[in-house]
Chain A
Amino acid sequence: MSWSALFTDRRWRWIAWSAVALLLLALPFIIEALLGRSWVRIIAVALLFVMLALGLNIVVGFAGLLDLGYIAFFAVGAYSYALLASPQFAVHWPFLVLLPLGAAIAAVFGVLLGAPTLRLRGDYLAIVTLGFGEIIRVFLNNLNRPVNITNGPQGITLIDPLQMGGFSLAHTHTFAGLTFAPVHNYYFVFLVCAVLSIVLSLRLENSRIGRAWIAIRDDELAASSMGINTRNLKLLAFAMGATFGGVAGGLFASFQGFISPESFHLIDSIMVLCMVVLGGMGNVAGVVLGAVLLTALPEALRYIGPLQQRWLGGVIVDPADLRMLLFGLALVLMMLLRPEGLWPARRRRVAPVHTGNADVG
């Protein structure tokens, strides 16, 4: 029996999925024992990126709209949370209000970006979305004068952690003999959110809406002649993608306790796009894999610096440069070896339609 059959076979799948669930629950403790607490933090961040990549996958992978400014929605979510749960305005709203609110605000921004760009495709859309991402960041950087809203480049500090009643994720708890440091607590919250995102993405993919997105991507004209309202569906893709980003942003702000415009650069948008493309555009499992790998890889490459010292007897290339160099090399190699992504979508690219040739049929 193959590995994948283990997850689909009726007798085995409960056992297989339970094993995966157990592994995910135990993972932070295993990782901590093996690699130290900093890696628990990395896998928690990886889960945030899973949410982000899945959100972008709706826009890019499902609807085929190339978005290079996706991190802006992450920023919008993060700032909506931070501004309403920090000493900045001395308001401290509960996260149960703020996370949905952040998602809604991000969705509005998604529509704001989508509406004027409906007629654009491909390269042109990419340029406009890139500009949008930068506009948001520049605004966040400069909205400290004349009225201080975002606190400019200094960012916002002392953001409230996720808390309810007296229970705060920022405290260390002991439960059943296990110590739950804040990073463990957040890992579990992020895990729940990431799993929800995965389930939502899978449901979307095989829904009427998901198929309509694929139809629009394959042939927009034919899609509209089927009675699909292409305008609304494209806007819906932007809004839904932005929602994922907005929630992830709010979680990020509460996790870090500090945010500044520095966290929302173009390179971050590109990084999320890399996760989607490299994992396998349009395939939920592939995108999750891409997000986890691309979060972990740059961190893992930090270990190369000391190795250089040991093997070559000195520092030849600056460790920081070497790390990004190897990261770039890894990206190039992966795309060369697996051009459709590590785990391509079932609906792989098919040969173009031959409209000009005679065909005996």
Chain B
Amino acid sequence: MRPLDPRLLRHARAARGYVALTAALGVLTAALVVAQALLLARALGAAVSDGATLEVLAPTIVWLAVVVAVRTLVTATQERFAHRAATRTIAELREQVVAHAVALGPRWLASGEGPSVVTLATRGLDALEPYFVRYLPQLVLAATVTPGVLLVVLGLDWISAGILVVVIPLVPIFMVLVGRLTQGRSEQGLVAMQRLGTQVLDLLAGLPTLRAHGRERGPGARVRTLGDAHRQATMGTLRIAFLSGMVLELLTTLSVALVAVGIGLRLVEGHLDLVTGIAVLVLAPEVFLPLRQVGVQFHAAADGVAAAGRAFEVLETPLPPNGTRTAPDLRTATLRLDGVAVRTSGGCTPHGLDLVLPPGTVVALTGPSGVGKTTALEVVLGLLRPDDGRASIDGVDLAEIDLPSVWTQVSWLPQRPVLEPGTIAELVGGDEASRAAAAALTGLDAVLATLPDGWATSLGRGGAGLSLGQRQRVALTCTLLAATPLVVLDEPTAHLDAAGEQVVLDTVRALRHAGRTVLLVAHRPSLVAVADDVVHVRSTAAVLA
């Protein structure tokens, strides 16, 4: 694990100012630690060896109080800004990751690393908080207090400094060792934990199904077995991780003990005065304290750094270059696919797809499930680049076109309609008369009749409050009222019965009547029948014929 990934500073603005502040406070802390030790040694030394009274010590004690007060302030300031910086940095990274993942498109999100982005964006990045609040400040102190105090000890008593200097290089060596041993293992541990998590969740999510089959009792033992396996794996990791931590602690504590014994013996022989002895004794642990804290916070921070690393991986996944040319007007332009193929695990779905979409026509894509019909739609919409072949509008390759200029001309109704939150009227748009006419056609009027608030019914995110079939009707009405030249419908009759199917047929006819181009995926012959042209999609993958 890199202590401070420069990419963090590059990607998160909030992190930069905070690192600077922490560094400044770190230097100040080093000075205060030294001042406190020297003042304390002076006061205590005088009291122990010379029997000094409070009156004599008063100035020293006052200065000591001042140092204590300033250290209090520094600590508070650090804490005050650490939380803020952490939250803002997490927010900045989250936005960038989500925006980048969205730009990478639905296909990327559904494959490989894609699904884990959800966890990363919603929860994973939160692990950066302990990194910022606890780890980073200690890391800075290790870079300021440790060398600063060591120099002072060197000035006071070179023999003690010698002991510390011998031990200090061992600390980073063991830190690296801790890092080496734990990084691989903590990544493994994370994977094992996620696997356990999904397996247990899988059992719980399937519990209704298990109950339906009367088989819910057995897996209880499995949950326990999974848990025990996880505990044993984790303890194996911890035994090693903690072992390195112990050696680190032994080295530092033992060297402080050696310094104390050394000072004691030289005091007896009169080679050292008590004030110096006390100062060195107080300072010696301070040399190691930040290093030890870095070790303590290491695990919490490692998760944060791992999460940030995954975020950077997402951010560094190159986006397909966006075209710059404005899309031709789809009212007059013809979209076409020539020999398009998209490679998937099983082969090419679709394979060798030719499709011409002249303005004002209805074209149906047919073929067995799994052949790549939806994929073909994604290619048409520019969400997916074909691995082979070409998608173009009036001869201009889709890759060269600024996609948003295409999308403003398209209404897309995916298999599962995505509705904005808001009232149905807001969602559907249009004026009252056109709304009513469209609703009559799509059967939305019947749905509205069952809703007490009618058009003013508020829908939650994703259309919560309506059944899938009802959402489909809302989405169809939207499509009808949108003024886009191209309409893309993906299996619009799924989730609908025969009466619902009729509604879709009527809608498609109305769309054609309005001179709009329709591309639809159809299973049912009725839908195929309304199309001007039917394209049969083929694949080279083993699918159901």
Q: Do A and B come from one complex?
A: no
